[in-house]
Amino acid sequence: MTIVGNGRFRYELVSNWGRFPDDMVLGDVAAIAVDARDQVYLFTRGEHPIIVVNSDGEVQRTWGHGLFQNPHGLHLAPDGNIYCTDDGDHTVRVFTPEGKLLLQLGVPGRPAPMMSNRPFNRCTHTALSPQGEIYVSDGYKNACIHKFTPDGRLLKTWGESGPAPGQFYFPHNLVCDADGWVYVADRENHRIQVFDGDGIPEAQWHNLHRPCALCMGGAHNDLFYVGHLGPNMAFTANFPKLGPRLTILDAAGTEQGSIDFGPPGVGEGRMIAPHGIAVSSQGDVYIGEVSHAAWPGLFPAQERPLGLPTLHKLRRLSGEPSP
């Protein structure tokens, strides 16, 4: 048994988690969400885009076949509806848990002009305000956040390319808390930016390296779990303390725990490219990787092996922290 983490945040690294049929090729797991019953939703770049498994890793159902170009972000609403962000066809689609389409934002295959601040050009993730307003990070070829009404009417857009407060360099993921504040993983600016619900900058959290995956969890849903993507170039792959890691922050952005997975690689306790993260009611952490997509940049001289790991479970050992 491999134990990782420290203090209040110690985990058992569950090897080969997930019981998938032999003919089910998982592919990269771009995003993960966990529902109220601790069912785990995987948004994958394999044959089955949405795979729902229970907490033991047993497949419950799959859907979404043929609907997506490049799965990227997944958000599970309190009512159980699922917000799927597809950066390949520049859309956000909302589905029931069974896969019935309820709402679509964006036009499939028709990106807005690059850096136009118009929805969307390779949008990345979605979050909901307490009132059900929809925030979308946009993303790879825009540098902004869009805010929509629950029925999909655009309310406002903020942000532009740059390093200043309120500017972005790959707004890659976002969450919204119970007070309506918006937290954006501003990946290549190596920070998380905090805004009020109208896009006014409130704070910045630094001492991060390429924060990529982001979710909230904990006893009172007031902890932030950050998955760091790690290096994206071969010559920095072995730089210490820049590799894939998990950081747990409180509501002030203060580190409460961390796990360093070492340089990118394959093997027990190693990761290549954490991209999606979710936390169960028991404090277990699920991490999805885009290992296949990241491999050529990190290991250009090595042939990509078959069966790269793209899904991990960290089973919480010490229970939820006290409030």
For residue range 214-230, what is the model confidence (pLDDT) as tens digits? 999 976 688 999 999 99
> 278: closest CA among 76, 110, 88, 52?
76
> 13: closest CA among 288, 309, 319, 312?
312
The average pLDDT across 230-257 equals: 92
DSSP secondary structure, 126-168, as one string: EEE-TT--EEEEE-SS--EEEEE-TTS-EEEEE--BSSSTT-B
The average pLDDT across 56-84 equals: 96
Neighbours of 14 (CB within 10 A): 16
Flag whether 323 is in a domain.
Answer: no
The average pLDDT across 178-205 equals: 97
CATH number, residue 114: 2.120.10.30
Q: Evaluate if residue 323 carries a pLDDT over 50.
A: no
The average pLDDT across 23-39 equals: 94
Flag whether 257 is in a domain.
Answer: yes
For residue range 9-25, what is the model confidence (pLDDT) as tens digits? 999 999 789 999 988 98
Burial (CB count within 10 angstroms: exposed 0-12, middle 13-18, buried 19+), residue 138: buried
Measured distance CA(151)–CA(205) in Å, rounded: 32
Burial (CB count within 10 angstroms: exposed 0-12, middle 13-18, buried 19+), residue 24: middle
Flag whether 119 is in a domain.
Answer: yes
For residue range 297-317, what is the model confidence (pLDDT) as tens digits? 999 999 998 889 999 999 999
Give the β-pairing of 311-316 and 91-95.
unpaired
Q: Evaluate if residue 6 carries a pLDDT over 90.
A: no
> 192: closest CA among 177, 174, 178, 176?
174
Q: Evaluate if residue 57 carries a pLDDT over 80.
A: yes
- Range(s) of the domain holding residue 265: 2-316
Q: Evaluate if residue 141 carries a pLDDT over 90.
A: yes
Burial (CB count within 10 angstroms: exposed 0-12, middle 13-18, buried 19+), residue 307: exposed
Q: Evaluate if residue 60 carries a pLDDT over 60.
A: yes
Query: What is the reported pLDDT for 232?
Result: 84
Q: Taking all residues of the chain, what is their mean pLDDT, rounded to a whole number?
A: 94
Q: Evaluate if residue 319 carries a pLDDT over 60.
A: no
Number of domains comprising the chain: 1
The average pLDDT across 293-300 equals: 94
Measured distance CA(114)–CA(309) in Å, rounded: 33
Q: The tokens of 103 are what?
A: 């709402």
Query: What is the reported pLDDT for 220?
Result: 66
Q: Are 172 and 185 in contact (CB under 8 A)?
A: yes
Q: Evaluate if residue 321 carries a pLDDT over 90.
A: no
Measured distance CA(16)–CA(206) in Å, rounded: 33
Name beta bridge partners: 246.
227, 259
Flag whether 165 is in a domain.
Answer: yes
Flag whether 322 is in a domain.
Answer: no
Flag whether 245 is in a domain.
Answer: yes
For residue range 256-266, what is the model confidence (pLDDT) as tens digits? 999 999 999 99
For residue range 89-128, what is the model confidence (pLDDT) as tens digits? 999 999 999 999 999 999 999 999 999 999 999 999 999 9
Query: What is the reported pLDDT for 314?
Result: 96
- pTM (predicted TM-score): 0.96
Measured distance CA(151)–CA(46) in Å, rounded: 30
Flag whether 287 is in a domain.
Answer: yes
Flag whether 321 is in a domain.
Answer: no
- Name residue 32's amino acid: I
Query: What is the reported pLDDT for 25?
Result: 87
- Please state, in angstroms and as integers, the Cα–Cα distance from residue 184 to each residue in 159, 168, 214, 223, following that order: 11, 9, 8, 14
